[in-house]
A = this chain, B = another copy of it.
Amino acid sequence: MLKISELSAKVGLSAHTLRFYEKNGLVNASVRSESGYRYYNDADVKRVEFVKSARNIGFSLDDISTLLSIRVDKQSHSCQEVTDITQNKLDEVNSKIAELQSMQKILQILLDSCCGGPENAIHCSIMEALEDHEIQSPHEGVS
């Protein structure tokens, strides 16, 4: 059984974060000492590691809550529920990538167009591009 700082060292999440996860219903210590200290058993550690893996992929804590509830009763849940969550996350990631790529493209064009030297900025083509109405908002409706 691990105390919170031991678990923290083992999984690489701060004790604060572990308590925060508990407050949000993700992981709790299955044992408390008389004085209230948290003690984590092997199953608790596995659960924390599951949360950490899911965080590393980019799942939100909300997603992870759902994944955890599937995890504790896999019998009653389908693969489709799991792929739905995963697909939604992938869609979100893809649209963020698209948005960033459109910024990337414009930034690169701006950089290519400007001398970038010690000349004063009176004829700076980046400033000109920002002043003229050349720049449209990338896909506003995507969230």
Q: How many identical subunits does the complex contain?
A: 2
Which single residue of chain B is at the shortest CB-CB distance from A88? B107
CB 8 Å contact bits of A49-80 with B (1 = contact, 0 = none): 11001101110000000010011001111111
How far is B78's CA from A101's CA once the two chains are assembled, in angstroms?
Answer: 27
Minimum CB–CB distance for A56 against chain B, Å = 4
Question: Are B136 and A79 in contact, with the CB atoms below 8 A?
Answer: no
A104-B97, A137-B56 are known contacts. Are A79 and B131 too (CB-CB below 8 A)? no
List chain A positions with a Cβ less than 8 A from chain B.
46, 49-50, 53-54, 56-58, 67, 70-71, 74-83, 86-87, 89-90, 93-94, 96-97, 100-101, 103-104, 106-108, 110-111, 114-122, 124, 126-127, 129-131, 133-138
